[in-house]
Amino acid sequence: MYTEPMWGIPFNLYAPFASVYMLALGVGERSIGLIATVGLALQIITSILGGPITDRLGRKRATLIFDILSWSIPTLLWALARSEAWFYLAAIVNSMLRITMTSWTCLFIEDAPKRRVVHFWTWVHIAGIVAGVVSPLAGLLIDRFELIPMMRIFYFFAFLSMTSKFVILNIYATETRQGEVRLRETSAAAFGSLVAESVRDIPRIFRSPGTLVAIVLLAVHAIYITIRGTFFAVLLAEGLAFSAAEIGLFPALRSLVILAVFFFVVPRLDQDRHMGYLLLGMAVTIASLVILVLAPVRGLAVVALATVIEGVGAGLLAPYLEGFVTAIVDPHHRARILAVANTFVLAIASPFGWIAGMLSETAKGLPFVLAALVLVTGAVIAIALNPEMTGAEIVDSTRNGPR
């Protein structure tokens, strides 16, 4: 957890302005959405490979290799970008982040006490969110020294800081007990057979109500994050006429609200019953989207209100979604199950970047209408399938039956 700000600070310097940077380099809104869709579509492939690679290489080694491939190299490509093609290439390389998401998640939580998982995830999110307060500084620098040169500096800084983080983590981290078991079990197995094992897990996953709910919620969250992360700055800059300095205020405000939720709300909530807080977080997020879509041009107070409300929703969604997913997955096959589940999540989510890009060309607020509709649909499905509502135990069906 201690190294997370070395990733979070540079990410929060460039992320709020990434889409505006692309626009400044001549990339159209539909292309911005298509680049996001290409990245998500390729993540379907890297996600299914994430489990076998994590088991074969070990959690620690896989995390180092694919952190560097999926983040260090893309930050250099973004820094040097001269045309649309650079962003497509960066999206292709960045798609390998799904491998390191699987390996890093296993490395982080496999040796953690079960009742402390939500607590640990909360602190990871806190580390990232504290880093988000640098966004106003980024906006001020962009206003003072212009967008394109400052964004190139931010991306070069991200390369240096993130790469250092990956190396330091590898030096001080130790392989998990489950990782050592899987290393021994897979050492003599062909890689193709490990991938085939993941494919064979598909029927088992779909027999588990808890896993189905997790896939729906992860997909809905992925769609929402893709739309918001890609088009929020476009809406503010192109639709509501805000400057870069003003745009940088909103991520910082959001970070402060999420921190307040993490410190003062989450510790007082039940750490074992996740679904009620997830649904509450989704409802609050939907309300924030409605307010955002109705914001007038230069409506600083309205966008600030939407940001505060969205921060409350995000503060509930982040730790409880991770906790819910952790609770339902068999520890012995966690890497494989997460990889297969993420494959379905990405297959569902991947078209939405392109769809949102087309909607943004029509009206800048339409991507957020789409995001709200997706969240409503996800909440309805989750309520219908949720085992907590029926009193059933949340357990992955892969825990039982022959292997």
Q: pLDDT tens for residues 302-338? A: 999 999 999 999 988 877 887 777 776 666 666 667 7
Taking the C-alpha atoms of residue 152 and residue 170, their distance in angstroms, rounded to an integer, is 27
Q: CB within 8 A of 52, min separation 6: which ones?
A: 186, 191, 194, 195, 197, 198, 335, 336, 339
pLDDT single digits (tens) 11-20: 989 998 999 9
**Structure token pair of residue 222:** 């992925």
Q: Given a cut of 50, is residue 142 above it in pLDDT?
A: yes
**Structure token pair of residue 279:** 């649904």
* Residue 322 pLDDT: 76
Quickly list DSSP for 201-235.
HHHHHHT-HHHHHHHHHHHHHHHHHHHHHHHHHHI
Taking the C-alpha atoms of residue 227 and residue 232, their distance in angstroms, rounded to an integer, is 8
Q: How far is CA 307 from CA 256, 266, 285, 360, in A?
A: 10, 19, 9, 20
Taking the C-alpha atoms of residue 44 and residue 340, their distance in angstroms, rounded to an integer, is 9
Taking the C-alpha atoms of residue 213 and residue 333, their distance in angstroms, rounded to an integer, is 19
Q: Given a cut of 70, is residue 394 above it in pLDDT?
A: no
Q: Given a cut of 50, is residue 400 above it in pLDDT?
A: no
Q: What is the mean pLDDT of the chain?
A: 86
Q: Given a cut of 60, is residue 401 above it in pLDDT?
A: no
Taking the C-alpha atoms of residue 290 and residue 292, their distance in angstroms, rounded to an integer, is 5
The beta strands (E) that lie in 38-155 are given as: none
* Residue 383 pLDDT: 86
* Residue 75 pLDDT: 98
Query: Are residues 226 and 352 in contact, defined by beta-carbon separation less than 8 angstroms?
Result: yes
* Residue 327 pLDDT: 73
Query: Can you tell me the mean pLDDT for 223-234?
Result: 93
Confidence of residue 399 (pLDDT cuts 50, 70, 90): very low
Query: Are residues 243 and 147 in contact, defined by beta-carbon separation less than 8 angstroms?
Result: no
Higher pLDDT, 207 or 139: 139
Domains of the chain: 5-399 (1.20.1250.20)
Q: CB within 8 A of 321, min separation 6: which ones?
A: 217, 218, 221, 274, 278
Instruction: Note the pTM of the prediction, 2 decimals.
Output: 0.77
Q: Which of 151-165, 196-210, 275-289 has the lowest mean pLDDT?
A: 196-210
Q: Which has the closest alpha carbon to 210: 372, 377, 337?
A: 337
Hunting for tokens 């489950």 — which residue is that?
178
Give the distance, in angstroms, between the CA of residue 69 and the centroid of all CA atoms in the same chain: 17
Q: Given a cut of 80, is residue 148 above it in pLDDT?
A: yes
**Structure token pair of residue 265:** 């709300």
* Residue 397 pLDDT: 38
Query: Are residues 322 and 278 in contact, defined by beta-carbon separation less than 8 angstroms?
Result: no
User: Is residue 26 within a helix (H) or strand (E), and if so which, with residue range?
Assistant: none
* Residue 335 pLDDT: 61
Highest mean pLDDT: which range of 180-184, 307-311, 387-391 = 307-311
Hunting for tokens 């910082």 — which residue is that?
252
Q: What is the CA radius of gyration of the chain?
A: 20
Q: Given a cut of 60, is residue 355 above it in pLDDT?
A: yes
Q: What is the DSSP letter of 10?
A: H
* Residue 178 pLDDT: 85
Burial class of residue 97 in the structure, from the number of CB atoms within 10 Å of its CB (0-12 exposed, 13-18 middle, 19+ buried)? buried
Query: Can you tell me the mean pLDDT for 208-213?
Result: 75
CA-based end-to-end distance of the chain: 35
Give the distance, in angstroms, between the CA of residue 308 and the centroid of all CA atoms in the same chain: 20
Taking the C-alpha atoms of residue 37 and residue 101, their distance in angstroms, rounded to an integer, is 18
* Residue 204 pLDDT: 67
Confidence of residue 284 (pLDDT cuts 50, 70, 90): very high
What are the b/e assignments for 169-189, b being 16+ CB within 10 Å? bbeebebbebbeebbeebeee
